[in-house]
Structure 1
Amino acid sequence: MYSALEIEVKDIYSQLHLDDMKPLNIEAVARHFDISLIYKSAEPKAISILNKKVIFLDERKDSFQQREDFCHELCHILKHTGPQNKTHYLFKQMQENQANAFMYHFAVPSFILNKTDMPNSIYEAVPFISRRFGVSFDFAHHRLEMFYRNLITYPNHYYWIKKKTSMEYAFY
């Protein structure tokens, strides 16, 4: 059972002909959506004006952080319109929350995690996910927490968790 966001991400991956566990090629994704990527010493930002879409990424960050930032900004390009600086702060916060959720699910999709034979220990799973998806350890750890929490929430996934009884992880 997938959430609406997980289904949306799976559909985008299908459009991009991606279904494997490897670091997302942000340049290819940007080309697919006709987005210009600009690397400069500045905070990440997405701009869409008159059908011209641009994502600015911080050239000082490593490729893991750039990939994470790209996924966040991609959500703004695909789902949000208008300048955020002229919106109510609660609306802006909602858009940022959407972009953060999208970022985690797009960089490390659930449909790929579901078919992955992950290590049983969180201490092995985090570096495994980090390496395979090209994201930072902190990002991988948070995404795995999200993934496992979702498995616990939906009883039809209980069997999968039961199989992983040796999982060295505290669910909270």
Structure 2
Amino acid sequence: MKLKYSPTPLESWVSRFYLSLGIREPNDLVESRIAKALNIFLVYKDVPSMSYEFGRFRSITIDKRLPAKVQRERFYHELCHILRHAGRQIMMPEAFRELQEWDARNFTRYAALPLHMITTFDFKQPGIIEVLSEQFRVTPELCVERLKRIRNRVRYLAV
């Protein structure tokens, strides 16, 4: 039996997007670098994290009271809203807002641990969750979710 992994369209898109920005390895995943490349004003304040767009002005505010790894995850979440969503959530129906939040959580998994980077890791390695958490500077919980999604998409092929 041979393993076959089929990435989701979003997962593939995130890797292509990062590669187009020259982001190839975990150390390249720097919030300020990504924001600058996309002309997004990035600020850290003692307020809840949020994204904002008005015309061509785009900004992401990250709650600096959160732990560093959670701040990073919040950046990816808010980045998704800017890249993939339109409208003001405060004015939209609850079901649509929930769909956007689901999409932002899903995007965060792929943006935090992009496919083109994690394929270099041995997922059977002892302590792989801690290794990924440290390398990508995200919470172990997010790493567990990401690996669980990968395992759910693996197919076994007869050789």
TM-score (norm. length: structure 2): 0.89
Unaligned runs of 5+ in 2: 1-5
The number of residue pairs the alignment matches comes to 154
d(CA) in 2 for partners of 1:64 and 1:120?
Answer: 22
* Residue 144 of structure 2 corresponds to residue 141 of structure 1: yes
| RMSD of Structure 2 on Structure 1 (CA) | 1.8
4+ long deviations beyond 4 Å = none
Between the two structures, name the one with larger relative contact order (CA 8 Å, sep ≥ 6): 2
Aligned equivalent of 2:94: 89
Aligned equivalent of 2:130: 127
d(CA) in 1 for partners of 2:138 and 2:150?
Answer: 15
Please say if residues 71 and 103 of structure 1, whose CA atoms lie closer than 8 Å, have aligned partners that are also in contact: yes
**Larger strand proportion of the pair:** 2
Please say if residues 69 and 138 of structure 2, whose CA atoms lie closer than 8 Å, have aligned partners that are also in contact: yes
Unaligned runs of 5+ in 1: 160-172
TM-score (norm. length: structure 1): 0.83
Please say if residues 35 and 52 of structure 1, whose CA atoms lie closer than 8 Å, have aligned partners that are also in contact: yes
Q: 1:47 to 1:39 in 2, by over 3 A?
A: same
SS in 1 for 2:41: strand
Please say if residues 22 and 134 of structure 1, whose CA atoms lie closer than 8 Å, have aligned partners that are also in contact: no
* Residue 65 of structure 2 corresponds to residue 65 of structure 1: no
Aligned equivalent of 1:13: 18
Please say if residues 55 and 70 of structure 1, whose CA atoms lie closer than 8 Å, have aligned partners that are also in contact: yes
* Paired residue type of 1:155: Y
